[in-house]
Amino acid sequence: MELAESNKAARSYPAVRNRSWRKLKSPDSWGISVGVFTALICLPIFAVLIHLTKEGPEWAHLVETVLPRYLINTAVLVVGVTAAALLMGVLPAWLVTVNNFPGRGLFCWMLILPLALPSYVAAFVFYQGPEAAIPLLIWIRTNISVDAFLKTELVIRYGLLILMMSAVLYPYIYLACRAAFSQQGRTLIESARCLGDRPGAVFFRVAIPLARPAMVAGSALVIMEVINDYGAVHFFGVPTLTEGIFRTWFGMGDKVSALRLAGIVMLAVAALLIVEQLLRGKARYVEAEGSSIPLVRKTLSGGRAAAAFLCCLIPLTIGFLYPVGRLVHWSWLNLTSDRGVSLTFGDSLVRGLVLAGATALVVTLLASFFAFAVRLRENPVRKSCFRLSTLGYATPGAVIAVGVLVVFGGLDRLEIRWIPLFSGSLFLIGFAYLVRFIAIPLQLSRAGMDRLGPSLGEASRLLGWAPFTTFLRIDLPLLKGPLLAAAMLLFVDILKELPLTLILRPANFETLATSAFSLAKEARLQACAVPSLMIVAAGAVGLLIMNRWLAPTNSHE
């Protein structure tokens, strides 16, 4: 009798205490919040796409004169940088995964450090290369012809830019391929070895085909970074679509044509994502029985060990060691001779660090709350909202900046009394950072929640806790590690972001990125090295934290 009453009470307890959870079965405030938040994030992107149908006063002139050059330059850089980054990233990832050689332990984590170096900072160092070739160019012009001089100068400038950008961006491919090679396990690789395949045949016939989805994903990230770049192409004098947006808006004063150029960039990125999805198809990583056993790495010696060491050292030297060494030298010269710059730099340092830190904290918390709301009821609508909210990361910063200006500029022109002016405010640039980078904490929050599983949420439901209480008391404390990693990466990305910051920053507001860029434009390379080194140091710390957090899931170490 008592047992039956207790069972009846247990069955009725959740029905009485869990009304807030039962409401999730119908349209609720959580679903409305997801929809409103997604609409706000996508609004600047849609504002740009709408202007594809409009034609500015200078559009016809742009089409006849510079637009073909913008398209060709962008395509050349995309193809060249992607090909070179594949060469720099795939082979070192394979070598450190399947072989033992002197320095392998250091290269495992040092090969990701070039990502801490923004491309525009590396350009400050590398763009002196064409100047070093001036004697050669003068000899060609004097002894051969003017056409040969122009072609040689073009090859040197474009080649050096492609080499520099690929050396900075190859870690995207390295990280993806290293994870893929590690997940392949020992079964397939050792089976190929037992069948008599040499190491080169195993690499090309087994490892590369299995790692193709990872290579495509890493290459897609490289391509999007190339399209987004402004500082490096500006210093090398190679106009692309992103620089065309700056020239058209601020140089020619044609906002409509600049928005149309931004729309073309958006279409190019969308086409890239569609192609990447089609190439991936339904490919999935499948582990055969026993494949989770760690791979026995082959020990290299003699010439093979030296060759492996050089294959890893060359991209690391080009993409990190050499430019950082030059920046350290310039910083020392500046700090010992030019004290006036340090005061101005101190203001931009404080402002940039406060802006990046506050924005990273707010965006990370909003992303974790949004991911929890989507997870409460994973229907097709909320899943679509989750995917749409990550579009900003695949969108160049300049495009997001002009979209934000269009949206909030139109709101300011309405002159509504109870709505403050947004143009030229820190809120505007903070919102743009939210749109641009929220994909990072969203993905890390979602991955962390998937690891927690549904059991904790079900237990809180049985205890009668509301969803918001569950988020604050269970999910948020348990996601501390992923959220800290996401906040650190956000902090680094905001410090590095240049095109978006240049367009939206308030008057007389300098960050580390804008200070370094402005000083470099004035040919004060020694002075610009100080803020550049600060960006690199912050980026290196964030990358090492990310690598340490992801290492247990990426490899069989």
For 136, the token pair is: 């050669």
Round to whole Å and give the CA distance between 108 and 97: 9
pLDDT in tens, 119-154: 888 888 887 766 777 788 888 888 888 888 888 888
> Does 93 or 28 have the greater pLDDT score?
93
Determine the Cα angle at 423 with ends 421 and 427, to 5°. Answer: 85
pLDDT at 287: 46
pLDDT at 552: 46
99 bridge partner residues: 298
pLDDT at 185: 54
Round to whole Å and give the CA distance between 74 and 223: 10
What pTM was computed for the model? 0.78
Which of the four pLDDT bands, split at 50, 70 and 90, describes residue 99?
A: confident
How many helices (H) and strands (E) would you count in the chain? 32, 2
Sole residue written with tokens 């396990």: 185
Domains, the chain, in order of start with CATH, read 48-113+169-285+295-309 (1.10.3720.10), 352-511 (1.10.3720.10)
For 413, the token pair is: 């022109």
CA distances from 331 to 319, 411, 495, 513, 516 (A): 19, 44, 19, 16, 12
Of the listed ranges 86-90, 201-205, 461-465, the one predicted with least confidence:
201-205
Is the Cβ–Cβ distance between 351 and 509 less than 8 Å?
yes
Where residue 508 falls (left for φ over 0; alpha for ψ -120 to 50; beta otherwise) is left
The overall average pLDDT reported for the chain is 77
Which of the four pLDDT bands, split at 50, 70 and 90, describes residue 294?
A: low
Which of the four pLDDT bands, split at 50, 70 and 90, describes residue 190?
A: low
Round to whole Å and give the CA distance between 380 and 203: 40
Is the Cβ–Cβ distance between 73 and 240 less than 8 Å?
yes
pLDDT in tens, 488-510: 778 888 888 888 888 888 877 88
| Residue 184, SS3 per DSSP | coil
Is the Cβ–Cβ distance between 525 and 394 less than 8 Å?
no
Sole residue written with tokens 């391929």: 177
